[in-house]
Amino acid sequence: MKGCAYFCNRAEKRWIQNGTYGGFMAATAQKLDRKEVEALVREVLRQKLSGVAGPQSNERHAADRRPGPPHPLVVNVSARHAHVTQEHLEILFGKGEKLTKMKDLYQAGEFASEQQVTVVGPRQRIIPNVRILGPTRNYTQLELSYTDGIYLGVDLPLKISGDHAGTPGITLLGPAGALTIPQGVIRAKRHVHMSTEDMAYYGVKDGDEMKLKIAGPCGVTFEGVTVRYHPKVVLEVHIDTDEGNACDLETTTRMELVK
C-alpha cells in the first residue's frame, strides 16, 4: 500500500498548478469573471516579458524545450480520518463488514468509505463522524490535527503514516462496538507522494525533505515536506487541516515545490 492517508475534505480544497507555466486552477471548473481573466492575461504577459514561455507561446527557444513536470502539482488537505484492519472494522461495525466506497480519492484505488466512527478522548471529549479511508490496511491508525489533539487532550506525535513507535492509543466507537487501540494516533507529517519520474524531475529521493512555497494573502512556506516514493502514485502533497487553514489554501495564487 502507499502507506499513507489521503482525504480531500468537504470544501474540496484541492489545487493544481501547471508546472513551469505558473498558472493554477481549481480542480472543479469555475466561471471566470472579467477581473480574473484580466489578471490571468497580465500574468501571462508578465511571464513572457520575464522570459518564461507559456504553452501558448509560438516562439521556439530553449525554455520551450525544457522538459515539463511529469504530473501537475496537486496539494490536498487530509481531514481527520482513520485507517483500520479488517479485524478492527468487524469489531466496530459487525461480523463480515466490508468498507463501502463513498468517494474516490486522488490516488487510484484509495477511497473515502461510508463508514464513520466516533473518537473518544481521555477527557471524555468526543469527535463524531470520523471517516474511515479504504481499503483496509494491516494496521489501525487515527490521523488528527494538532487542534483536534488539544481539544481531545491527546499529545499527538508527528509521524509518517504507519510509524507507531511511541504513539498514544485511543477509543473508537462504531455501531456494533467499541475498540481501544493501544497505539496508532498521530498527526501525519506533511509529505509529497512521488513516482520514479516525479523524483527524477525534482532531483530528490525517497525520504528527502522539500519545501512547499504557497503564495497568496496567507502565503507560507512549508518546510520538511517528506518525499514518499511509490511506483504507482501521481504527484500529490498532503497537508492537514491546520496547515491548509494556515495558508488558506482556497486563496492560493501560486504554488511551488523546491528542494
The residues of the shown chain that bind Zn ion, judged by CB under 5 A, are 4, 6, 238
Burial 14-50 (b: 16+ CB within 10 A, else e): bbbbebbbbebeeeeeeeeeeeeeeeeeebbeebeee
For residue 109, the minimal CB distance to Zn ion (Å) is 13
Which grid coordinates belong to 234? 501521481
- Name the residue nearer to Zn ion (CB basis): 88 or 193: 193
Pairing of strands 111-120, 170-173: antiparallel
HSE-up of residue 204 (Cα within 13 Å, Cβ side): 22
For residue 133, the minimal CB distance to Zn ion (Å) is 10
- Name the residue nearer to Zn ion (CB basis): 6 or 21: 6
For residue 49, the minimal CB distance to Zn ion (Å) is 38
Which grid coordinates belong to 99? 468498507
Residue 212's Cβ-count burial label (10 Å; 0-12, 13-18, 19+) is buried
31, 89, 199 from 196: Cα distances, Å: 36, 34, 5
- Name the residue nearer to Zn ion (CB basis): 21 or 241: 241
For residue 189, the minimal CB distance to Zn ion (Å) is 10
For residue 2, the minimal CB distance to Zn ion (Å) is 7
Alpha helices in 171-240 (DSSP H): 196-202
Which grid coordinates belong to 197? 519520474
For residue 78, the minimal CB distance to Zn ion (Å) is 7
- Name the residue nearer to Zn ion (CB basis): 64 or 206: 206
The CB-nearest residue to Zn ion is: 4
Cβ atoms of 87 and 139 closer than 8 Å = no
